[in-house]
Amino acid sequence: MSRVCDLTGKKALAGNNVSFSNAKTKRRFYPNLQTKKFFIPEEGEWITLKVSTSALRTINKKGISACLNNLFTKGKI
């Protein structure tokens, strides 16, 4: 499974671990992803999405239907 948000498209970024001696080694910054089930009232069924916590806040604010409609109109799916 990839570590990508289904709604926002957030994915891992690359950076450096910096030690006290200022030696740099590569590391990854992963998004805070959660697997959640959402009920779609128009279709009467449940869907499972892997979403970031910022996307969860957007879903709580706008609703899952509005977020999915926005996703389909932008052509990400």
The pLDDT tens digits of the residues spanning 37-68 come to 999 999 999 999 999 999 999 999 999 999 99
Ordered by start, the domain boundaries in the chain are 13-74
| Spatial CA neighbour of 64 closest among 11, 9, 7 | 7
Whether the predicted model's global pTM rises above the 0.75 cut: yes
pLDDT value of position 75: 66
Helices 53-62 & 64-74 angle (0-180, nearest 10): 110
Query: Regarding the domain delimited by 13-74, which CATH topology (the fold level of the hierarchy) does it fall under?
Result: Ribosomal Protein L24e; Chain: T; (2.30.170)
pLDDT of 2 higher than 80: yes
In degrees, rounded to 5, the angle at the alpha carbon of residue 74 between the alpha carbons of residues 73 and 77 is 85
Q: Which residues of 32-43 are buried (b: 16+ CB within 10 A; e: fewer)?
A: ebeeeebeeeee
